[in-house]
Amino acid sequence: DAVAIIGIDFESPQRLNFDNVKVQLECLLDENVPYLWKQARVVNFKNEYVLQVACEGIRHNRRGSFRVSVSNIGTLKMVGRGSMKVMVKDVSATGFGLADRTRELGLNMGDRANLIYEENGYELNLTGILVRIEEREDMDIYGFEITNLCRDLPKYISYKQRHKGSPC
């Protein structure tokens, strides 16, 4: 069990009671990736309030569309720049992310591109417009909004969700 100490300023001689309080914990771990614990509780232990969780947290998507991790090589095609191999970080029904550890892509907001990759029999051909650039210490992350329909995308996302493991 993971344990966290909670500091509570409560101006009353009464002891706090969390028996009827439903607690969810969300925090950023591992390069600011959000994790969620749905089954958390606050207990009094030796006059300290302790947050207990029964299992490991799950990666939590804060976006409107569920995003699945990919970590697969794809081909990015851009008018005037040709084709280049890229690392596909993640994908959702509305967007896809690329990770650039070499910092050689040099993409700009508003760039349009076509991403093609295959995994487990799913052929993805996604067209998108660059809407987010995140410069991290060890890589650049590019976020694209999908502007086309891809027949295999919903089935692929469902496949990835089924094979990622079950949350507690």
Give pLDDT tens digits for 15-60. 777 777 777 776 655 555 567 777 787 877 777 777 787 777 776 6
141 pLDDT more than 60 = yes
The sign of the torsion formed by the CA atoms of 36, 28, 71, 64 equals: positive
Rounded to two decimals, what is the model's pTM?
Answer: 0.61
CA 87, chain centre distance (Å)? 16
pLDDT in the model for residue 167:
43
Q: How confident is the model at residue 65 (pLDDT cuts 50, 70, 90)?
A: low
Please give the Cα distance from 49 to 2 (Å, whole number). Answer: 14
Specify the 3-state DSSP secondary structure of 159: helix
How far are the Cα atoms of 30, 42, 62, 73 from residue 99, in angstroms, in the given order?
16, 38, 19, 10
126 pLDDT more than 60 = yes
Spell out the alpha helix ranges (H) of the chain.
153-162
> Which neighbouring-strand residues pair with 139?
none
How do 23-29 and 48-53 pair as beta strands?
unpaired
Within 8 A by CB and 6+ apart from 50, the residues are 3, 4, 5, 6, 42, 43, 44
Q: How confident is the model at residue 5 (pLDDT cuts 50, 70, 90)?
A: low
Query: What b/e readout covers 48-66, taking b as 16+ CB neighbours within 10 angstroms?
Result: ebebbbeeebbbbeeeeee
The single residue listed with the structure tokens 């910092």 is 103
| Helices and strands (DSSP H and E) totals, the chain | 1, 11
Pair of tokens at residue 101: 């550890």
Q: What is the pLDDT averaged over residues 143-165?
A: 85
pLDDT in the model for residue 63:
55
Higher pLDDT, 79 or 50: 79
